Structure 1
Amino acid sequence: MRRFFLLTPVALLLAAIVIILATEYVVARPSHRTKDVAYVPASAPDFDKERHILDVYSPKKAAPNAAGYPVVLFIHGGSWTSGSKNIYTFIGRRLAKQGVVAVLINYRLAPPVHVPEQAADCARALAWTVQNIKQYGGDPARVFVMGHSAGGGLAALLATDDALLAAHGLPQNPVRGAIMDDPAGLDMYSYLKEMKYEGDEKYKVPFGNDPAVWKQQSAIYKIKAGMPPFIFYIGGETYPSISGSSGRFRDRLKAIGQPAPYTIIPGRHHIPMVLQLYWKDNIIYQGLLKMVGA
């Protein structure tokens, strides 16, 4: 068994990105991108001009009804220490082309901040989305969250942690559903207590040394009746820690009478689980569009 994340060959990842960027213009035409919008006031004492920003991708055609298009807020992965919304422009374009307003966010990375601050950033981005998405053609009553890898764990917190949202301007949880793309961090409490993979110590950089924090930032312990629906897409060749925690999460949802669709995609490793979103007919988009009603 291996640890969470092993680096994929750099050349392979760079080649995939080059191919993606080479055809981006063709896909960009049906959508409009509003770039680098601050979701935290510049006057805030912790404002970070590089990380407290988001992009909005809107269909160029007017919505078919006055309420607006459904909205998906996407959170990138990167082991809580790296990553950027700018890598995933293709997701914003594909969603907008298919009748969804996409919000792709940055959040502060570890170090110097830890996962509680990252989760707070995601909650602030969600609050901004609910308050402002109407002017971009989105329906604030139909906001969904999506994440890959570490972003999946953060997205799960938005769907389950009502106290987190209330602390950042959302007294009612506005999330209408959560799309999990090979999510990491759903149960960091168990993972960091076991420490059974080589190199696991590095995950204490974002999560710290306090087991109480590990549990607080693990969405699996916040499952309760009345939560928004979840759908899972898991790589058949992903890391055992990801498939294991996702399976336990699914089982706990089922135990409270809220079964979640759970699709294992044969042959897929962890990084290809997000790169496959370059193709708009991908199985993940098919489930997503059905969930959001696009």
Structure 2
Amino acid sequence: MKFLTILLFVLNTIILCNAFKINDALSFISSSSSSSYVQELKDNKRDIENYLNVKHIERNIQYNEDRTLDVYYDQESTELKPVYIFLYGGAWHSGSKVKFTNFGSLLDNNGYVAVLPDYILFPYGGFEDMVDDVYHAIKWTFENIQKFGGDPNRVSISAYSAGSHLTALTLLKSLLNYSNKNIELEPFPEFEKVVLLNGPYDFDDYSVINKMIGQSNNSILEKLVQLIFKSPNVSPTDLLKPLSDNSLTSLGAKHFVFFYTSLDQQVKESSAINFMDQMKRVCPNVSIEYVYKEGYEHTTLTRGVRASSPEEENVYLSLLNIKF
């Protein structure tokens, strides 16, 4: 367990540094201590208070054995509303539905039913365990959300960072009938929208070594990720590469929205661009909107929504409300 934790730290340092830069790594380690730690404690205290004060919520519904999710909804509403599932990020080893409770409240206040699931985190589970949770949370939503005033025919999903990665990985593995934990996944009903924020979709994008020797697949870093997270399938982009051009008529959703930010030092923009290129190659009629925001860092949007900042709330809602 200690060995895997050390490997995860190395992985995070590589990704956050974007190029194995020692000076950048030292800066990250320094910035992750003292003041930022104190601020995170304050933010977590605020998030817990927000969570405890929410009125329009059904808490801790079991969906995959002892895993739980929360549903944010207006108990007095009589009409079925569109649904958003929100999957948080946290580098696959941190985060919780409580921490992102303001996303649920924001969605509820703007005419949606929101589903916020918890999922297993490293080192207690690898990518296949995480995909298993995400898959069952989505399946639960389609099968049960009408009981909470949600329209099962208008289900969308939004995710951030590691949550975006897991969302894309789960959707493609189910769409393409991949095996996960020795069970062949079945496709979901079609999503209305998939809105992905600041997500990494191919770990090869972080490999300086691969670029130096001119290779584009199966980098040392990607093999390390496969080892750490105990899965042969770790990059959503790689699931599409073996497919022929024009081989798919749908990628599981009517519309996709990708969001990236100019000051993001943790996830490469090329990760989304390369993923979108593969999506368009195998499914030319796929509907994709790419939104690039100047002046935001990796966490600006999510920290803003967590803090009830009107600016970031409006940016997030504008992504959900893009017209196609």
Task: Classify the TM-score, shorter chain.
Answer: 0.7 to 0.9
Match of 1:258 among 270, 286, 289: 286
User: Does 1 or 2 have the higher relative contact order (CA < 8 Å, sep 6+)?
Assistant: 1
Q: CA offsets, 1:85-105, max 9 Å, x none? A: 110110000000101111111
1:36 and 2:48 are equivalent in the alignment: no
Q: Once the 2 structures are TM-superposed, how far is the Cα of residue 81 of structure 1 from its aligned partner? A: 1.3
Q: Once the 2 structures are TM-superposed, how far is the Cα of residue 283 of structure 1 from its aligned partner? A: 1.5
Q: Distance in 1 between matches of 2:264 and 2:186?
A: 34
Q: Once the 2 structures are TM-superposed, how far is the Cα of residue 276 of structure 1 from its aligned partner? A: 2.5
How many residues were matched structurally? Answer: 270
Question: What is the aligned-residue RMSD (CA, Å)?
Answer: 3.4
Match of 1:283 among 311, 315, 323: 315
Q: Distance in 2 between matches of 1:132 and 1:85?
A: 19
Match of 1:176 among 158, 168, 192: 192
1:217 and 2:234 are equivalent in the alignment: yes
Q: Once the 2 structures are TM-superposed, how far is the Cα of residue 34 of structure 1 from its aligned partner? A: 0.7
Q: Distance in 2 between matches of 1:11 and 1:89?
A: 20
Decide whether the 8 Å contact of 2:47 with 2:100 is kept in 1.
no
Which segment drifts farther, 12-21 or 261-270? 12-21
Q: Once the 2 structures are TM-superposed, how far is the Cα of residue 11 of structure 1 from its aligned partner? A: 3.0
Read off the aligned partner of 1:116 and give its amino acid letter: E
Q: Once the 2 structures are TM-superposed, how far is the Cα of residue 193 of structure 1 from its aligned partner? A: 8.7
Match of 2:40 among 1, 13, 24: 13
Decide whether the 8 Å contact of 1:107 with 1:118 is kept in 2.
yes
Match of 2:273 among 234, 247, 256: 247
Distance 1:113 1:240, change over 3 A: closer
Q: Once the 2 structures are TM-superposed, how far is the Cα of residue 188 of structure 1 from its aligned partner? A: 2.4
Q: Once the 2 structures are TM-superposed, how far is the Cα of residue 270 of structure 1 from its aligned partner? A: 1.1
Q: Once the 2 structures are TM-superposed, how far is the Cα of residue 288 of structure 1 from its aligned partner? A: 0.6
Q: CA offsets, 1:240-286, max 9 Å, x none? A: 64312012122333442425211111111112231223346422212
> 1:138 corresponds to which residue?
150
Match of 2:125 among 99, 113, 118: 113
Point out where structure 2 has 5 or more consecutive residues left out of the alignment.
Answer: 1-12, 17-27, 212-218, 241-247
Q: TM-score, normalised by structure 1?
A: 0.78
Report the 3-state secondary structure (helix = DSSP H, G, I; strand = E; otherwise coil) of the residue aligned with 2:59.
strand
Distance 1:82 1:210, change over 3 A: closer
Q: Distance in 1 between matches of 2:179 and 2:140?
A: 12
Read off the aligned partner of 2:131 and give its amino acid letter: A
Distance 1:61 1:279, change over 3 A: farther
Decide whether the 8 Å contact of 1:158 with 1:175 is kept in 2.
no
Matches within 5 A, 1:217-236: 217-223=234-240, 224-227=248-251, 228=253, 229-236=255-262
Read off the aligned partner of 2:265 and give its amino acid letter: Y
1:268 and 2:296 are equivalent in the alignment: yes
Q: Distance in 2 between matches of 1:93 and 1:267?
A: 26
Decide whether the 8 Å contact of 1:253 with 1:260 is kept in 2.
no
Q: Once the 2 structures are TM-superposed, how far is the Cα of residue 205 of structure 1 from its aligned partner? A: 7.8
How much identity, in percent, do the aligned residues show?
23
Q: TM-score, normalised by structure 2?
A: 0.71
> 2:15 corresponds to which residue?
4
Q: Distance in 1 between matches of 2:89 and 2:76?
A: 30
Q: Distance in 2 between matches of 1:177 and 1:118?
A: 21
Q: Distance in 1 between matches of 2:263 and 2:210?
A: 21
Point out where structure 1 has 5 or more consecutive residues left out of the alignment.
Answer: 42-48
Match of 1:56 among 68, 71, 80: 71
> 1:45 corresponds to which residue?
none
Q: Distance in 2 between matches of 1:123 and 1:283?
A: 28
Q: Once the 2 structures are TM-superposed, how far is the Cα of residue 149 of structure 1 from its aligned partner? A: 1.0
